């Protein structure tokens, strides 16, 4: 989160492919080395896990801007959708591969030794095969913008861009919910099984078994894939009806997602299968807006400050979202449990009541997307006008 603005600044001014590859190499190396740190150096282990964020911020801040300079309009939406499929796919595979590696090796450290190999392979392929497009090449019909504005000027322009501000706040709402779910839903469903079987609960510091993690990870993979693909297809069709299709599709999907996420906490006590169905539909609708949000940013922000815009959107979404949501949900749950006698049923209910905060935050995110829709056309036109006024490189040919 803290490193994202730094990479946003660098991504608008230097070779993005080199920065991206170095960030992924650093990310993978730190992850691998952290798996060999003994428990007597726990502080070092925590530091190494934090350093992973430096690599993540380079990737998340710069990659969308490269795609934005390679494609435009519906094709850019489709390519951004393919790119954002990696988030739910990787997140879901993290549960599955991490659990599988831990079980197969009998040691949880091996869960941290799977992804570094994949990361280093990806970084190598990026260096060898990914092009470094000129900034604004897609928007300028093959040309490129020549002038880069100062960083403070970029920040002032982004702060005045209402579509960017509201869509960033909506993204934070999505991040809040997904961060809380990643931490607490497997534990919540494990407690639901305990209540249904009227057995003694397991230690809250551990998930009761690996099945819940595995199933939740598989659902995250599938719903992420479906959500991103459905979102891209829906937006492409709705653009034929209205030019505000992008933020409106995001708003409707989030409001629909809140309904099914509420139902999770209604049916979980009686049916784990019913809860999984609600999770499946709710997450699909929630993930619908990932690629669309990035496309909104590409429309309303000029090419020379897109990396900065993506970086600060990431910073905002983490700061107001998943950086604190797991802790906040746990704090609320613990406070509710202290008010009543401890029992397996109340352990389950208190966590469910705490998680009910998420659908309210999701509804708030939907409202932010509706606000984005109000200003989207004006901000898109301003970006196009500003882009046309920037100096272009000379087309004169010296003989």
- Alpha-carbon distance of 26 to 116, in angstroms, equals 10
Work out the number of other CB atoms within 10 angstroms of the CB of residue 59: 21
The dihedral sign for the CA sequence 361, 367, 369, 372: negative
- Alpha-carbon distance of 362 to 9, in angstroms, equals 30
Work out the number of other CB atoms within 10 angstroms of the CB of residue 53: 17
CB 288, CB 249: distance < 8 Å: yes
Structure tokens at 44: 């070092």
CB 4, CB 60: distance < 8 Å: yes
- Alpha-carbon distance of 369 to 374, in angstroms, equals 9
- Alpha-carbon distance of 64 to 46, in angstroms, equals 29
pLDDT tens, per residue, the chain with 399 residues: 888 888 888 888 888 888 888 888 998 899 899 889 888 889 999 998 888 888 888 888 888 888 888 887 778 878 888 888 777 777 777 777 888 888 888 888 888 888 888 888 988 898 888 888 777 666 654 445 555 678 888 889 899 999 999 999 999 999 999 889 888 888 888 888 877 775 444 444 444 455 666 677 778 778 888 888 888 888 888 988 888 999 999 999 999 999 999 998 888 888 888 888 998 999 899 888 888 888 899 889 988 888 889 889 989 998 998 889 999 999 998 888 876 666 777 888 888 899 999 999 999 999 999 999 999 999 988 888 877 765 555 444 443
Q: Which of the four CATH numbers 3.30.2130.30, 3.40.50.720, 1.20.1250.20, 3.40.50.970 does domain 73-108+151-387 have?
A: 1.20.1250.20
pTM of the model: 0.79
- Alpha-carbon distance of 211 to 99, in angstroms, equals 9
Longest dimension (CA), the chain: 88
User: What is the rounded (10 degree) CA torsion for 57, 42, 212, 324?
Assistant: -50
Size (the chain), residues: 399
Angle CA 61–67–71, to nearest 5: 150
User: Which residues, at least 6 apart from 353, have a Cβ–Cβ distance to it below 8 Å?
Assistant: 265, 332, 333, 336
Structure tokens at 101: 């590696």
User: Which residues, at least 6 apart from 201, have a Cβ–Cβ distance to it below 8 Å?
Assistant: 191, 194, 208, 344, 347
User: What is the distance in angstroms between the CA of the first residue and the CA of the last residue of the chain?
Assistant: 50
DSSP string covering 24-42, please?
HHHHHHHHHHHTT--GGGH
214-242 residues labelled b (16+ CB within 10 A) or e (exposed): bbbbebbbbbbbbbbbbbbebbbebbeee
CB 227, CB 285: distance < 8 Å: yes
Work out the number of other CB atoms within 10 angstroms of the CB of residue 254: 28
């Amino acid at each position: 989160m803290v490193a994202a603005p730094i990479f946003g600044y660098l991504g608008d001014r230097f070779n993005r492919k080199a920065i991206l590859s170095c960030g992924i190499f650093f990310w993978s190396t730190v992850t691998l080395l952290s798996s060999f740190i003994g428990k007597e150096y726990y502080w070092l282990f925590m530091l190494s896990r934090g350093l992973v964020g430096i690599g993540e911020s380079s990737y998340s801040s710069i990659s969308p801007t490269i795609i934005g300079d390679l494609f435009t309009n519906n094709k850019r939406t489709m390519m951004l959708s393919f790119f954002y499929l990696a988030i739910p796919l990787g997140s879901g595979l993290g549960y599955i591969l991490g659990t599988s590696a831990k079980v197969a090796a009998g040691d949880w450290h091996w869960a941290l030794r799977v992804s570094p190999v994949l990361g280093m392979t990806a970084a190598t392929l990026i260096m060898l095969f990914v092009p470094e497009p000129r900034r604004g090449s897609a928007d300028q019909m093959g040309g490129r913008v020549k002038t880069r504005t100062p960083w403070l000027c970029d920040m002032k322009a982004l702060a005045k861009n209402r579509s960017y501000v509201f869509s960033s706040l909506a993204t934070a709402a999505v991040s809040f919910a997904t961060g809380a779910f990643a931490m607490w839903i497997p534990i919540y469903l494990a407690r639901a099984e305990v209540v249904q079987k009227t057995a003694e609960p397991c230690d809250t510091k551990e998930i009761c078994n690996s099945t819940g993690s595995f199933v939740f990870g598989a659902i995250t993979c599938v719903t992420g894939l479906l959500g991103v693909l459905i979102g891209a297809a829906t937006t492409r069709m709705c653009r034929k009806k209205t030019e505000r299709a992008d933020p409106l599709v995001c708003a409707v999907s989030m409001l629909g997602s809140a309904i099914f996420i509420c139902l999770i906490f209604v049916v979980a006590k009686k049916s784990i299968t019913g809860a999984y169905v609600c999770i499946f539909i709710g997450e699909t609708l929630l993930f619908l807006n990932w690629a669309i949000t990035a496309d909104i940013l590409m429309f309303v922000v000029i090419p020379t400050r897109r990396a900065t815009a993506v970086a600060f959107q990431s910073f905002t979404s983490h700061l107001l979202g998943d950086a604190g949501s797991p802790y906040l949900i746990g704090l609320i749950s613990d406070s509710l449990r202290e008010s009543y006698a401890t029992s397996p049923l109340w352990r389950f209910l208190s966590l469910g009541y705490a998680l009910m905060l998420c659908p309210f935050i999701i509804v708030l995110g939907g409202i932010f997307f509706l606000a984005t829709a109000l200003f989207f056309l004006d901000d898109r036109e301003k970006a196009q006008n500003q882009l046309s006024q920037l100096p272009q490189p000379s087309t004169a040919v010296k003989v």
